[in-house]
Amino acid sequence: MAVSDIIVLAFGSVFLISNVVLSLQQHFNHSIYQVVCKVNYFTITWSYITSSQSFTAISIDRFLIMTYTNRKSPFQSKKILIMAITIIWIVGLLLAIPMLILADINPKLPHMCDLLPYGKNNDYTFSVYHLFALSVAFPIPLVTVFCLYFKVIRRISNSINNISNIRNRYDRNKRRQVHSTKMMILATLLFMVNSLPIMFGWFIALITGKSYVYLVLDYGEFIFILVSTAFFMASLTAIQNPFIFIIYNKTFRKAMISNFYLERQNKTAVIVVTHKSNNANT
C-alpha cells in the first residue's frame, strides 16, 4: 500500500503541475496533455485497485487472527504473503492497462482529462471492462471488508464484555493485535470514504454511457466538481496512512523519532568533522 500511495501522490502531483503549466501556454500542447491524462488515469486505477485489494487481504488476515484463537493467518507465511502481494499488483496492472486507451482529451473541453465509457469506436466490450474493474476496485472489497470487520468487532466486544475471560484470552500479544485491527479499520474506512467520489463518477459514466466531458456539458458544474474532488481525494488517500500509523502504531512512531534524531546527529557530526578539517588545513 505504501508503494501505491507513493505512486498516486507522485503522479498526481506531476499531473497537477503539468496541468497548470500547459494551461498557461499560449499554444496548448494537446499531445503532451493527452499522454499526461492517460498516464494519470492508468496510475490512479492501478493504485486504487491494488490498495482496495490490499485492504481486503488485511481484513482477511485480521479476521483469521482475531476470530480463531489457535489459528494462524496464512499471510504469516513469507511465501504466501509475497505471492498474495504479487497477484494483487498483477491484477491491478492488468485492470489499469485499458485506461491507457480509454483516457483521452476532448476538443470541446481540452483542459480536462476525459474518460471514454465505450471506446472511440463505440466498442461495448469496454463497458464490460468498466463494470468488472469498478466491481473489483470498490463494491466487492467494500462488502468483504465490512462483513469481516463486523465479525471482528463483535468478537472483540463479546470478549471484552466477558470479564472472566479477559485475562485468559487477551494477553499482551492479543491486545496488540486488537490495537492493530483498530488501526486498519480506521485506515480502511478512510480509504473507502475517499474513494467514493472517483468511484461514483466512474459509475455515472458507465450507466449513462457518456464521457466525463459530455457529462460536464450536459449536467454542468456538478460533474466537474465531482471529478476535481475525486482527483484531490485520491491524493489525500496517499498521505493519510502515515498519519494513522504515527497515531496508532507505537513502534512506527518510535522508529520515526529515532531516525529523525539519528539524522540530526549525523548532520552535526559531518559539520563538526568538516569544521575541524578546515581548521587543520588553515
Which pLDDT tens digit goes with each residue over 60-112? 888 887 776 566 777 778 888 889 989 999 999 999 999 898 888 888 887 77
Please return the burial class of 102, using the count of CB atoms within 10 Å of its CB with bins 0-12, 13-18 and 19+. Answer: buried
| The three cell numbers locating residue 231 | 482527483
Predicted structure pTM score: 0.75
* Nearest in space to 99 (alpha carbons), one of 46, 50, 42, 49: 42
| Separation CA 114–CA 100 (nearest Å) | 12
- pLDDT of res. 109: 80
C-beta contacts of 14-23 below 8 A and 24+ residues apart = 14/40, 15/39, 15/40, 15/231, 19/111, 22/111, 23/111
| Separation CA 278–CA 161 (nearest Å) | 68
CB 235 within 8 A of CB 6: no
- CATH superfamily for 2-248 is Rhodopsin 7-helix transmembrane proteins (1.20.1070.10)
Helical segments of 209-220, H only: 212-219
**Tens digit of each residue's pLDDT (9 = 90 or more) over 191-244:** 888 888 888 888 888 888 888 888 888 887 777 787 777 777 767 776 777 677
